[in-house]
């Protein structure tokens, strides 16, 4: 039995070797595939590749062969093709000499697709730092727009600032090229020029009035973008952008700076609430300077106060007071009841009309019409008004444009207030004669004085440079006052600047001046306020052949001086003198001798 066990054990390895050999032989038979089977598989695999390529080509390149292909192609294009707006360059605003007042500079806005943004803590912090935002604020903004496909992260960055953000290579962030407005003159012409908003559309001033002309027409192009929102390729120009038209204003920036400087100095000296200066070209009706205080810097509106944006010279109304007396003299001469040498007895220095008593600063006695203007006599003016027809004075005011829109096209310009009544009370006839009971803007007042300066011819005021080459023609003109009457009134107005007048501080060394001072009480909740005033001066130079009309308004001076002859007349003298020299208007008289030390100047008042 032991031998049989040994024999079976000896036979087992041999059988195992036979099984291994059998398996190896079987494997050799599997690897040796028949040729027809091999080529069948090759052809099948190749056919599958061709079918896949043809399917892809059908989806993206070849004409549609299945209804579903058109849908898939449109979906692909909608995700990759975009129509992008091409911003138009906004037109330049210049002064009459071509000096820029408003220009556009290229800027970059950073945009994002919130649905693609995936910001971890580090990326979010870096992005916030380069956008100069707090991390929490940026995160909250992105969360608010999470369901949108577009949002602005930052507007109107400089190209280097924008590139610093784009260099982060954050998926979903891209740029948009835009323009930003810049104002070289700053606050000097701020209320007149106005400003644009973040989308480059006019919001105030001439930027708003002529927005459609300045804005131009936006273009468009088709581009290919990747999934990160970056432009890969510009495919097609759909519509070219059209730059906006340029606009030349009537102002002379040199005169604007002079008027701004002198008004600001007067505001500081007399601690006034506000003020305006208007300089008008008598020959054309163009506004050569228009400044207001307080002003603002249109290039930095972070601390902008709404009240400082108003162009007070065109929008704010005031009762002009005694500056209306020259026009009352026009009505007196037109009536035929008075002539320049007519003498009016103003004694005893006061006059009662109804319940109202009109008082002069002192008893001036007998005065001719020139003396009434020079002394700004309320009594003399009232006595003249009482002898005129009720509508006579109002009729003159109406003919020179008071109570009517100036027609400059400036947003919010006021037409003023000129009352019309069937029956006039005596006190109303008197108060209107010296500038109460009506309301005007500084520009309206300047336009009315321009009629006196232009031999009775009324011209429409213009804020645009009058130039036939640029298509801006002068407005209609009309003879509204007789030339001889106007010449007589101008001669009377010279006396206001003389040694006995209330406007001595408006005198200019080398030019004769004709003008009138005015000081009116401000209106408060309970009526006229006895300690609040508006000081005015309106005048023209050279007096015999005027070229310029200048109106100065100092609102609510809080110092001891508040009369128009003291607060407004000096501003008139400085602005008008430099303006005439810049315009090369020849002096018409020799310089006045300088006052020696110890001499005095009369501090006349007006009412």
Indicate which residues carry an active-site annotation: 322
Distance of alpha carbon 228 from alpha carbon 117, whole angstroms: 9
Q: Are 262 and 276 spatial neighbours (Cβ–Cβ below 8 Å)?
A: no
Cβ neighbour number for residue 311 with a 10 Å cutoff = 27
Q: What burial letters (b/e) apply to 226-243, b meaning 16+ CB within 10 Å?
A: eeebeeeeeeeeeeebee
User: What would you measure as the largest C-alpha separation in the chain, in angstroms?
Assistant: 174
**Contacts by 333-337, CB closer than 8 A, 24 or more apart:** 333/485, 333/488, 333/489, 334/392, 334/396, 334/481, 334/482, 334/485, 335/387, 335/388, 335/389, 335/392, 337/387, 337/388
Distance of alpha carbon 216 from alpha carbon 90, whole angstroms: 6
| Helix axis angle, 442-453 to 325-335, nearest 10° | 40
**Burial class of residue 303, CB neighbours in 10 A (0-12, 13-18, 19+):** exposed
Backbone angles phi, psi at 531, to 5 degrees: -120, 15
Q: Which of 390, 388, 396 is nearest to 482 (CA)?
A: 396
* The dihedral sign for the CA sequence 306, 311, 313, 317: negative
Give CA angle at 411 (408, 414), nearest 5°: 70
To which residue do tokens 């945009």 refer? 111
Distance of alpha carbon 319 from alpha carbon 286, whole angstroms: 24
Token pair listed for 535: 């000081």
**Helical H segments across 61-100, by residue range:** 67-80
Token pair listed for 548: 């310029």
Cα Rg, the chain, nearest whole Å: 42
Q: Are 540 and 513 spatial neighbours (Cβ–Cβ below 8 Å)?
A: yes
Cα–Cα distances in Å, from 395 out to 304, 322, 389, 392?
Answer: 42, 18, 10, 5
Backbone angles phi, psi at 138, to 5 degrees: -65, -45
Q: Which residues 6+ apart lie within 8 Å of 30 measured at CB?
A: none
Q: Which of 105, 82, 101 is nearest to 229 (CA)?
A: 82
Bridge partners of residue 364, in order along the sequence: none
Q: Are 152 and 111 spatial neighbours (Cβ–Cβ below 8 Å)?
A: yes
Backbone angles phi, psi at 199, to 5 degrees: -95, 15
């Amino acid at each position: 039995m032991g031998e049989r066990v040994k024999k079976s054990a000896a036979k087992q390895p041999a059988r195992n070797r036979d099984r291994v050999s059998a398996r190896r032989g079987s494997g050799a038979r599997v690897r040796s595939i028949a040729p027809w089977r091999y080529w069948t598989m090759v052809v099948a695999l190749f056919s599958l590749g061709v079918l896949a390529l043809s399917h892809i080509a059908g989806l993206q390149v070849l004409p549609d062969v299945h209804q579903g292909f058109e849908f898939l192609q449109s979906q692909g294009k909608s995700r990759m093709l975009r129509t992008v707006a091409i911003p138009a360059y906004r037109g330049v605003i210049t002064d009459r000499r071509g000096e820029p007042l408003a220009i556009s500079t290229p800027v970059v806005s950073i945009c994002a697709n919130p649905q693609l943004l995936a910001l971890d803590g580090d990326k979010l912090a870096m992005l916030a730092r380069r956008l100069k935002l707090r991390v929490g604020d940026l995160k909250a903004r992105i969360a608010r727009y999470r369901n949108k496909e577009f949002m602005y992260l930052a507007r109107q960055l400089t190209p280097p600032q924008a590139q610093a953000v784009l260099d982060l290579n954050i998926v979903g962030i891209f740029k948009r090229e835009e323009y930003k407005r810049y104002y070289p003159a700053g606050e000097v012409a701020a209320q007149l020029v106005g400003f644009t908003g973040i989308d480059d559309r006019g919001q105030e001033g001439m930027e708003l009035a002529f927005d459609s002309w300045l804005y131009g027409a936006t273009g468009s192009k088709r581009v290919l973008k990747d999934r990160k929102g970056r432009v890969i390729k510009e495919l097609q120009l759909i519509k070219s952008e059209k730059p906006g038209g340029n606009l030349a204003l009537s102002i002379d920036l040199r005169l604007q700076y002079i008027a701004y400087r002198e008004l600001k100095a007067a505001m500081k000296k007399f601690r006034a609430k506000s003020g305006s200066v208007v300089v008008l070209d008598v020959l054309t009706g163009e506004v050569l300077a228009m400044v207001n205080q307080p002003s603002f810097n249109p290039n930095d509106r972070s601390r902008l106060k709404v009240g400082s944006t108003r162009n007070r010279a065109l929008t704010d109304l005031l009762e002009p007071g005694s500056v209306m007396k020259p026009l009352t003299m026009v009505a007196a001469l037109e009536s035929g009841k008075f002539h320049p040498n007519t003498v009016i007895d103003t004694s005893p220095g006061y006059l009662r009309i109804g319940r109202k008593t009109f008082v002069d600063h002192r008893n001036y006695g007998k005065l001719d019409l020139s003396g009434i203007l020079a002394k700004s006599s309320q009594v003399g003016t009232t006595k003249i008004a009482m002898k005129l027809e009720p509508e006579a004075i109002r009729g003159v005011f109406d003919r020179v444009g008071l109570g009517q829109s100036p027609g400059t096209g400036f947003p919010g310009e006021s037409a003023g207030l000129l009352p019309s009544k069937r029956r006039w009370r005596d006190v109303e006839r008197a108060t209107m004669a010296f500038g109460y009971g009506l309301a005007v803007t500084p520009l309206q007042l300047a336009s009315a004085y321009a009629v006196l300066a232009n031999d009775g011819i009324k011209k429409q005021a213009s804020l645009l440079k009058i130039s036939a080459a640029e298509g801006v023609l002068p407005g209609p003109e009309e003879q509204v006052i007789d030339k001889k009457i106007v010449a007589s009134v101008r001669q009377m107005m010279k006396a206001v600047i003389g040694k006995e007048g209330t406007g001595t501080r408006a005198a200019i060394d080398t030019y004769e001046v004709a003008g009138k001072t005015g000081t009116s009480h401000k209106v408060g909740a309970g009526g006229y306020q006895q300690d609040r005033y508006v000081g005015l001066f309106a005048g023209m130079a050279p007096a015999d052949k005027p070229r310029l009309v200048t109106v100065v308004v100092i609102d609510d001076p809080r110092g001891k001086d508040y009369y128009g002859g003291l607060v407004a007349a000096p501003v008139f003298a400085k602005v008008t003198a430099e303006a005439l020299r810049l315009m090369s208007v020849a002096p018409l008289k020799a310089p006045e001798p300088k006052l020696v030390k110890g001499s005095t100047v009369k501090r006349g008042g007006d009412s």
